Amino acid sequence: MEIKRNNQNIFKKSINKINDIKQLKVGVILLVLLLIVSIFAPVFATHDPYSLGDEMIAAPSSTHYLGTDGLGRDVFSMIIYGTRTSLMIGIVAALISGVIGTLLGGIAGFFGGKIDRLLTEINNIFLMMPTFFLILIVVALFGSSLINVMLIIGLTSWVGNARLMRAQAMSLRERTFIMGAYSIGEKKWTILLKHIIPNGIFPIIANTTMIISGAILTEASLSFLGLGDPNVVSWGQIIYNGREYMTSAWWISTFAGIVVVLTVLSFYLIGDGLNRVLSPKLHDQN
Amino acid sequence: MGSFIIRRSFTGILIIFVAIFLNFMLIQLAPGDPISILSGQDSPSPEMEEALREKYGLNDSVGVQFLTYLRTLAGGDLGESILSGRPVSEMIGERIGPTLMLTLTTAILALLIGTLLGIYCARRPGSKLDNLLSGLSYLFDSMPSFWLGMMFILLFASWLGIFPTSGMVDLRANHSGIAYYIDVLHHMFLPATTLTLLSIPYFFRITRSSVIQVMSEDFVTTLRATGMSEGRIFNKYVLKNSILPTITVFGITIAYMITGVAIIEIVFSWPGMGSFMLNAISRRDYPLLMGIYLVLSISVAVTMIVVDVLYAFIDPRIRYSK
């Protein structure tokens, strides 16, 4: 009973917190809408996004809400199904980057010494590389399947997370409760995984939310270069396909782009909102 | 100062080396056999395949191949394009001018506009303009660059017809002298505006938060207590201290901007490396693609180190602390 009430309190508190911070509120509302759309895509879609219709480049109307593309596919339904692709790529890539960043940063900051110097140097190298071109070459060489795209984006975007986690680990390892853990004989790895990472993870969660935005934009850019997965509908591909019809059918690219902006914006807002929860000082000043 | 430059240069060399190594490893791991393409489709003889393998040194161990690769790179040889058969370095050389022009113009414009707006808003936090610009900076951050470019083409080129849709010069007009430069500027307006708008948020945010942070420091309070005017405190003490992070960000932003430039070039058919890269991708011209990647990595590394050294030159804390 006690625990239940406590849980309710936490829930209420987080709702209050979300309401307090404007960015977080708007971002969460947008995200919930997107999740609903992606889960119930078949309900919302008016046509099969893969089926080629007879009406090519038809203007938006009551049968085709956002018109049709050059192959007669319904743009509205394609955008609805594209939500799944974009969200999946964004979230999986960000998770990969979150796990790698947390582990490498945690190890560097907690163990220090030579390992730290080595990992920091690797970090600096990654920071100074134009990673988008690396992603591009890898996808061009190894194929543009959804898995490849998610993997390579995740593998190249962990630098920021590693830096944050390293700073967290360095400040946490001096704290009394970590000393306490040593004194009861816990192993270093256990301390890292059980105490350091869980206590320092919050800024990484905020940053990872923003990486979702970056990953969605990267996937869109790849699709725009013709390097998207041809087997799924994605927003970047809709924009890419619409480019040839810009003058005769502006609606194809325009609407898909607006959806990308809204989605990316929602993750940015959530990330920024979480950062504000973390540092109320910054919040007051703004 | 000297040791700082040496340390940074060492990191730079390391980065270039890693880029070369990655380049090499990617080609090694990539699926497909170059010999089966070179020897033709119609049942090539094993002897010919063997001869080709020997000719291109593919029988050597991976280590030896890497050394050969390094040696040829050191001589400025980036290989030959599969499609045109011309040296990659020569092809890149022809295309690098327009890219540099676009990148530098937009980088400097974005730096100036973003920093000025950042300073202006930081002195009036919470004002209407501040809220508006902060909101806009989010919006531009969330936009796919190519989409914004396409929207500009739709609006200003297709519908209003004020600006040309693509290219760098009007090939039919055959301008010379001043008219030529005006024509280039006219063509550059839309791609440069797109890129500048997308890069302003970086500088705007970093300057704004940096000024706000310096303004809240104790020495500013002390200066206020002495009765010094706000304007004097700002111009004489706050500005110098808060402008430094902008310079660091400038280096990193260049790396991101090069990505943006490449994609915007494709949208506006700007005759630089980006549109070139698209050709290389769609025709799977790997030597060309790799060459472009290497040249970009090296230029980004060099730019960042120059910026870092410049930073250390301005701010003594950097060169002494590390």
pLDDT digits (tens, 9 = 90+) for A43-53: 888 888 877 77
**Residue range B10-14: mean pLDDT, rounded:** 83
- Burial (CB < 10 A; 0-12, 13-18, 19+), residue B95, is buried
Q: Does B83 touch chain A (CB under 8 A)?
A: no
Domains annotated on chain A, with CATH: 81-283 (1.10.3720.10)
> What is the pLDDT confidence band of residue A286, given thresholds at 50, 70 and 90?
very low
The pLDDT score that the predictor gives to residue B8 is 78
Task: Concatenate the DSSP letters of all residues of B19-36 into one string.
Answer: HHHHHHHHHHHSSS-HHH
> Coil, strand or helix: which one is B80?
strand
pLDDT of residue B266 exceeding 60, the answer is yes
CA distance A194 to chain B (A): 32
**What's this model's pTM, rounded to 2 decimal places?**
0.86
Residue from B264, B266, B252, B217 nearest B238 by CA? B217
pLDDT > 80? residue A133? yes
Calculate the CA A4 to chain-centre distance: 32
**Cα B82 to the center of its chain, rounded Å:** 26
Q: Where are the alpha helices (DSSP H) in A184-250?
A: 188-191, 197-200, 202-224, 235-242
pLDDT band at residue B66 using 50, 70 and 90 as cut-offs: confident
Residue A283 has pLDDT above 50, yes or no: no
Give the whole-angstrom CA distance, residue A249 versus residue A251. 6
Query: Which residue from B15, B29, B289 is facing A140, i.e. has the nearest CB?
Result: B289
Binned at pLDDT 50, 70 and 90, residue A285 comes out as very low
- The mean predicted confidence, pLDDT, of chain B is 83
Backbone φ and ψ for A68, nearest 5 degrees, come out as -125, 160
Model confidence at A280, pLDDT cuts 50, 70, 90, reads low
Determine the pLDDT at residue B43: 66
Give the whole-angstrom CA distance, residue A241 versus residue A222. Answer: 13
Average pLDDT over residues B256-280: 84
**Tell me: the pLDDT tens digits for B15-40?**
888 888 888 888 888 776 667 766 66
Q: What was the pLDDT predicted at B44?
A: 66
Tell if the CB–CB gap between B15 and A142 is shorter than 8 Å.
no
pLDDT, average across residues A56-63: 78
Examine the pLDDT at A181 and tell me if it is beyond 70.
yes
Among candidates B142, B212, B278 on the partner chain, residue whose Cβ is nearest the Cβ of A268: B142
pLDDT at A266: 93
Would you place residue A265 in the very low, low, confident or very high pLDDT band (cuts 50, 70, 90)? very high
**Choice among A31-35, A63-67, A111-115 with the minimum mean pLDDT:** A63-67
Cβ neighbours, 10 Å, residue A210: 21
Alpha-carbon span A141 to A131, nearest angstrom:
15
Rg over CA atoms, chain A: 22
Q: Please give the pLDDT value at position A92.
A: 96
- Rounded CA-CA distance B92/B77 in Å is 12
**Mean pLDDT taken over chain A:** 85
Q: Which of A125, A128, A264 to mutate to test the interface with B (most CBs of B within 10 A)?
A: A128
Which pLDDT value is given to residue A7?
A: 63
| In the predicted structure, residue B53 carries a pLDDT above the cut 80 | no
- By Cβ distance, the residue of B15, B212, B284 closest to A125 is B15
ipTM of the complex: 0.85
- Residue A8's pLDDT band, with cuts at 50, 70 and 90, is low
pLDDT score recorded for residue A36: 92
Written as one letter, the residue type at B60 is D
Query: What CA–CA distance (Å, rounded) separates B296 from B298?
Result: 5
